[in-house]
């Protein structure tokens, strides 16, 4: 069992229950690279400032580099009984290089150390999340290119409203996902400031160079308030919020796919590789990936609520409650990445059924607004045109007709402004082509 970093004050060993409850190694062990990166920058600065000798600085550098290589190769296994990754790395370093390893923590606290590690880790995760979102945008773009002229009903209130292009519909999700990328990039920019050198809360009496360590670690600057530096988890909350919005968008897209591949819609077919069957119903092809994405949205929302609740009542500066930050934000990041990994191939291999889409668009009088616009174009006020067309639709429903099959005599009985060209005006293609959204969707 490694000695605790805080062991000097205590006359007896902590109880096993205390150790187990206090331990975070199972969660924070994934930050071993970031912990070693931060320690390398800190040690180099200590040596440069003459706070430790250059010989000790070199020994620390070599020792940490070997520990990193050994963990990555599997030669060194992280001790599950260690208190946290910071304790494990420092203890392993000291075991390897002796007293020089004990000098690494000079001018540093675990409070600023963990805040640094977490910012470094999440900065890298933001890059991976952005790449995943870009891959999904590309899959949607590919699907739009495959079906550039497919017409489908657009919906409001889940009722057929107006005809749109399938490509228009998918473009809406591309726009949502691009905003998600923007939010994650904004979060990455705000989290990219260094807390290192803040100590436990009040800074340090050593003549350290915070700007040097910030620059070495790729931070844009240092946090001015040392109390805020160790007590801030806004960046976790902000990223959790951005990821929650990502999951809203993925859940909405999943819901549409679930509807579209049902027999009631039959707008798309999912590839067999990304569906499952039933244990007793041999005809079933279930959109389980889409359903799981939809379900996992609640998990990410819960992570965000955990972060908000954890922080809402904490006085400055660091409190142990904040150890719970990593379980929540890591789970949110992992879940979103997992959902993106599932969504990309599901969308890329999805096959649209344009004939079924068009058949649905031909029903439901989704060209009624265009019929009213026809009258407006001939000088009738819109509200009068709206009323006339509404009465025509009611007549068509009662007689089993559509606006395309309604006899011209009935049109003229409703308004003398109707002419033979009304039939060309209310075709689905004409309705779609005259709208600006069609040009926007196709670039």
Question: What residues does 268 pair with on adjacent strands?
Answer: 352
Secondary structure of residue 86 in the 3-state scheme = helix
d(CA 132, CA 155): 29
Task: Annotate 12-70 with DSSP letters as a single string.
Answer: SPPPHHHHHHH--HHHHGGGHHHHHHHHHHHHHHHHHTTSS-HHHHHHHHHHHHHHHHH
Alpha helix (H) ranges present in 147-233? 166-191, 210-216, 226-231
Distance in angstroms (rounded) separating the CA atoms of residues 134 and 239? 17
CA 212/CA 297 separation, integer angstroms? 41
Could you tell me which of 170, 164, 167, 169 has the C-alpha nearest to residue 364? 164
Q: List the structure tokens of 168.
A: 């228009």
User: 378: closest CA among 411, 412, 416?
Assistant: 416
Q: Are 335 and 131 in contact (CB under 8 A)?
A: no
CB-count exposure of residue 241 (10 Å: 0-12, 13-18, 19+): middle
CA dihedral 140, 143, 145, 148 (to 10 degrees): -110
The enclosing H or E element of 424 equals helix 422-425
Cα 117 from chain centre = 21
What is the chain's length?
443
| Pick from 114, 110, 100: nearest CA to 47 | 100
Handedness of CA 431, 436, 437, 441 (dihedral sign): positive
Quick one: CA dihedral 208, 228, 116, 26, positive or negative? Answer: positive
Torsion of CA 421, 426, 431, 434, to 10 degrees: 20
Q: Scan for tokens 């500066």, then name that residue.
A: 317
Give the three-class secondary structure for 276. Answer: strand
Residue written as tokens 């945008």?
137
Q: Which residues are catalytic?
A: 157, 278
Structure tokens belonging to residue 216: 């070495």
Q: Which residues pair with 160 in a beta bridge?
A: 155
């Amino acid at each position: 069992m490694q000695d605790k970093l805080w062991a000097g004050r205590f006359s007896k060993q902590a109880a096993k229950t205390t150790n187990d409850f206090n331990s975070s190694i199972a969660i924070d062990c994934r930050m071993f690279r970031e912990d070693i990166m931060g320690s390398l920058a800190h040690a180099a600065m200590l040596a440069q400032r003459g706070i430790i000798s250059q010989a000790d600085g070199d020994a620390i550098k070599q020792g940490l580099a070997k520990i990193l290589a050994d963990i990555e190769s599997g030669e060194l296994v992280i001790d599950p009984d260690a208190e946290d990754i910071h304790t494990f790395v420092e203890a392993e370093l000291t075991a390897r290089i002796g007293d020089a390893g004990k000098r690494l923590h000079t001018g540093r606290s675990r409070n600023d150390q963990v805040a640094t590690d977490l910012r470094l880790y999440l900065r890298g995760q933001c890059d991976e999340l952005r790449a995943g979102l870009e891959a999904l945008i590309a899959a949607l773009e590919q699907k739009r290119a495959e079906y550039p002229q497919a017409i489908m009903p657009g919906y409001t209130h889940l009722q057929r409203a107006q005809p749109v292009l399938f490509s228009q519909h998918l473009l809406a999700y591309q726009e949502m996902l691009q905003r998600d990328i923007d939010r994650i990039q904004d979060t990455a920019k705000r989290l990219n400031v260094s807390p290192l050198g803040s100590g436990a809360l009040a800074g340090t009496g050593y003549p350290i160079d915070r700007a040097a360590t910030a620059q070495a670690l790729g931070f844009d600057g240092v946090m001015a308030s040392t109390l805020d530096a160790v007590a801030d988890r806004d960046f976790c909350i902000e990223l959790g919020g951005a990821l929650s919005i990502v999951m809203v968008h993925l859940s909405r897209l999943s819901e549409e796919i679930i509807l579209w591949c049902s027999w009631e819609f039959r707008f798309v077919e999912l590839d067999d590789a990304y569906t499952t069957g039933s244990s007793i119903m041999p005809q079933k092809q279930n959109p389980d990936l889409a359903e799981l994405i939809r379900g996992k949205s609640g998990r990410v929302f819960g992570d965000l609520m955990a972060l908000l609740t954890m922080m809402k009542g904490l006085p400055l500066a660091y409190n142990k409650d904040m150890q719970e930050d990593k379980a929540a934000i890591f789970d949110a990041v992992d879940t979103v990445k997992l959902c993106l990994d599932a969504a990309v191939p599901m969308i890329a291999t999805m096959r649209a059924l344009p004939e079924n889409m068009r058949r649905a668009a031909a029903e439901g009088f989704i060209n009624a607004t265009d019929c009213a616009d026809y009258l407006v174009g001939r000088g009738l006020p819109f509200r009068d045109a709206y009323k006339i067309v509404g009465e025509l639709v009611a007549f068509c429903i009662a007689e089993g007709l559509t606006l395309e099959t309604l006899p011209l005599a009935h049109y003229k009985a409703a308004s003398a402004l109707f002419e033979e060209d009304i039939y060309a005006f209310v075709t689905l293609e004409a309705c779609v082509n005259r709208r600006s959204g069609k040009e926007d969707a196709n670039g």
